[in-house]
């Protein structure tokens, strides 16, 4: 039985069923694209003709040696064979609305491919860049969305370790989904918890090499507070100029960034009016004194005690009255929720060129039939949904 099992499960998706129509992101180890199921492909629950998915492409030769621009933490991740780790992590999780779940893992002679749920509306980073500071009600919605996502991951003993707006995508329903579980790890595995993904979102303890095994979840809650600050201000709480500088100056800047995080030296922009309750929760989650910081220690529950909840954060005035249950069922209308599922093959704005066919031999690369505008930073606002979000 080709592709199917004796028990009559549907035939598996094959690379040859997919068309690569767009590249949406470049990471340290490869690129992320959008694929569309070819017309006339075999029947399959996910294989609805025209369905779109994200595909993370890992070049096999890239994985064999350390790329020059890869940081030490990332290089260690490669040694542990990063795509395998991401596949393992995703395959241990049940399907959840706030995690970009995995459909399949495929390969050809040049690449490994991880096929996941697509964030049709792009990343949270792009949203903040396009729209600037988000209204308090939107910040609250996304914050609560991410609290539930983290509670789910931590309830499964998985620590994300690289939570940041680039690693959060927005689904067609307007809800956020966490992606990039490449360096995530299970709390009981032997590893160095101080090596997390991105300095700007790293907690002081991790930078000091002092994350204790009992409280590894705290690295994700710290990052979440940095993200809430970023949503409210469209600025990094611990800003860094490294990307724009080179050599010694960059190194100095980076050392200064590390110093500022360890000293918990940050402030609110003076030229913006920000909700005082939002400010309060960020200040309490980024408190320099670990003992006084809220939400960073969440007692693990025994099985059968129900889903893990961060009671301390849920009790804060910023979200105390939030309809958590409704959010968990995706029963709220999300901010900027579009009226229809966007079709990536119709988008005229592309941020990256498509790869050459020879570099993705197992996939069919399909150039768009319309004229595309590539590499423009000042893209048209991607999200054309409701402008105002009401609580
Ligand atoms: N499921 C998805 N839907 C839509 N866009 C996605 C999806 N997954 C990833 N992306 C986009 O591609 C970018 C890179 O993806 P990802 O973070 O998984 O790769 P990476 O190689 O681990 O990156 P890095 O090492 O830079 O964090 C993301 O920042 C996001 O913009
Ligand atoms: Mg990433």
Task: Return the CATH number at 224.
Answer: 1.10.510.10
Residues 97 and 62 placed together within one structural domain of the fold: yes
Q: What percent of the chain has pLDDT over 70?
A: 80
Residues 321 and 217 placed together within one structural domain of the fold: yes
Q: CA angle at residue 239 from 196 to 351, to 5 degrees?
A: 80
Mean pLDDT value of segment 227-241: 90
In a domain, 279, yes or no: yes
In a domain, 170, yes or no: yes
In a domain, 1, yes or no: no
For residue 189, give the DSSP letter: S
In a domain, 71, yes or no: yes
What are 276-299's pLDDT values in tens digits? 999 999 999 999 888 889 998 877
Q: Considering the entire predicted model, what is its pTM?
A: 0.89
Residues 188 and 112 placed together within one structural domain of the fold: no
Cβ of residue 261 lying under 6 Å from some atom of ligand 1 = no
Helix extents (H) in the chain:
60-64, 72-79, 82-91, 124-131, 136-155, 204-207, 218-233, 247-262, 276-285, 311-314, 324-328
Residues 114 and 131 placed together within one structural domain of the fold: no
Residues 79 and 142 placed together within one structural domain of the fold: no
Q: What are the strands of the beta sheet with 18-26, ordered from one edge? A: 102-107, 111-116, 52-59, 30-37, 18-26, 364-365
In a domain, 7, yes or no: no
Q: Could you say which ligand is closest to the alpha carbon of residue 86?
A: 1
Residues 114 and 53 placed together within one structural domain of the fold: yes
Which range marks the domain in which residue 55 is found? 15-119+341-383
Residues 242 and 204 placed together within one structural domain of the fold: yes
Residues 294 and 345 placed together within one structural domain of the fold: no
Residues 128 and 71 placed together within one structural domain of the fold: no
What residues flank ion ligand 2 with Cβ within 5 A?
27, 167, 180
Of 63-72, 171-180, 298-307, 375-384, give the lowest mean pLDDT range: 375-384
Residues 299 and 374 placed together within one structural domain of the fold: no
pLDDT of residue 34: 96
CATH number for the domain that contains residue 83: 3.30.200.20
| CA 284 from centre of chain | 24
How many domains does the structure of the chain reveal?
2
In a domain, 5, yes or no: no
Confidence band (pLDDT; 50, 70, 90) for 139?
A: very high
The preferred substitution site among 25, 34, 118, 198 for testing ligand 1, maximizing ligand atoms within 8 Å of CB, is: 25
In a domain, 135, yes or no: yes
In a domain, 149, yes or no: yes
Nearest atom of ligand 1 to the alpha carbon of 182: 22
Residues 222 and 81 placed together within one structural domain of the fold: no
Going from the Cα of 53 to the center of ligand 1, the distance in angstroms, rounded, reads 13
What are 22-63's pLDDT values in tens digits? 999 887 778 999 999 887 666 655 556 668 999 999 888 776
Q: 362 with 106: CB under 8 angstroms? A: yes
Residues 292 and 365 placed together within one structural domain of the fold: no
């Amino acid at each position: 039985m080709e592709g199917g099992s004796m028990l009559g499960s549907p035939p598996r998706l094959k690379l040859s069923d997919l068309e690569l129509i767009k590249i949406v992101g470049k990471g340290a180890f490869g690129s992320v694209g959008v694929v569309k199921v070819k017309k006339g492909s075999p029947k399959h629950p996910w294989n609805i003709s025209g369905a779109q998915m994200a595909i993370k492409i890992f070049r096999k030769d890239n994985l064999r040696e350390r790329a020059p621009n890869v940081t030490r933490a990332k290089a260690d991740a490669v040694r542990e064979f990063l795509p395998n780790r991401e596949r393992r992590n995703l395959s241990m999780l049940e399907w959840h609305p706030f995690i970009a779940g995995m459909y399949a893992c495929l390969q050809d002679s040049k690449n490994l491919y991880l096929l996941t749920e697509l964030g049709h509306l792009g990343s949270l980073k792009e949203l903040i860049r396009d729209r600037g500071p988000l209204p308090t009600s939107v910040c609250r919605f996304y914050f609560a969305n991410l609290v539930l996502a983290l509670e789910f991951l931590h309830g499964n003993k998985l620590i994300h370790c690289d939570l940041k707006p680039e690693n959060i995508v927005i689904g067609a329903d307007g809800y956020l989904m966490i992606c990039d579980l490449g360096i995530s790890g299970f709390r009981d595995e032997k590893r160095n918890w101080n090596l997390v993904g991105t300095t700007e979102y790293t907690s002081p303890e991790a930078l000091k090499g002092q994350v204790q095994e009992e409280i590894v979840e705290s690295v994700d809650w710290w990052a979440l507070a940095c993200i809430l600050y970023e949503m409210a201000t469209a600025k990094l709480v611990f800003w860094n100029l490294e990307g724009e500088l080179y050599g010694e100056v960059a190194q100095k800047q980076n050392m200064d960034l590390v110093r500022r995080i360890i000293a918990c030296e940050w402030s609110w922009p003076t030229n913006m009016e920000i909700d005082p309750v939002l400010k309060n929760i960020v200040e309490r989650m980024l408190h320099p004194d670990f003992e006084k910081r809220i939400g960073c220690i969440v007692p693990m529950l025994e099985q059968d005690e129900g889903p893990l909840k961060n009671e301390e954060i849920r009790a804060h005035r910023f979200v105390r009255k939030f309809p958590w249950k409704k959010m968990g069922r995706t029963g709220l209308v999300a901010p900027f929720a579009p009226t229809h599922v966007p079709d990536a093959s119709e988008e005229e704005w592309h941020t990256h060129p498509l790869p050459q066919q020879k570099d993705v031999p197992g996939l069919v690369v399909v150039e768009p039939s319309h004229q595309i505008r590539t590499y423009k930073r000042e893209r048209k606002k991607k999200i054309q949904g409701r402008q105002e979000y009401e609580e």
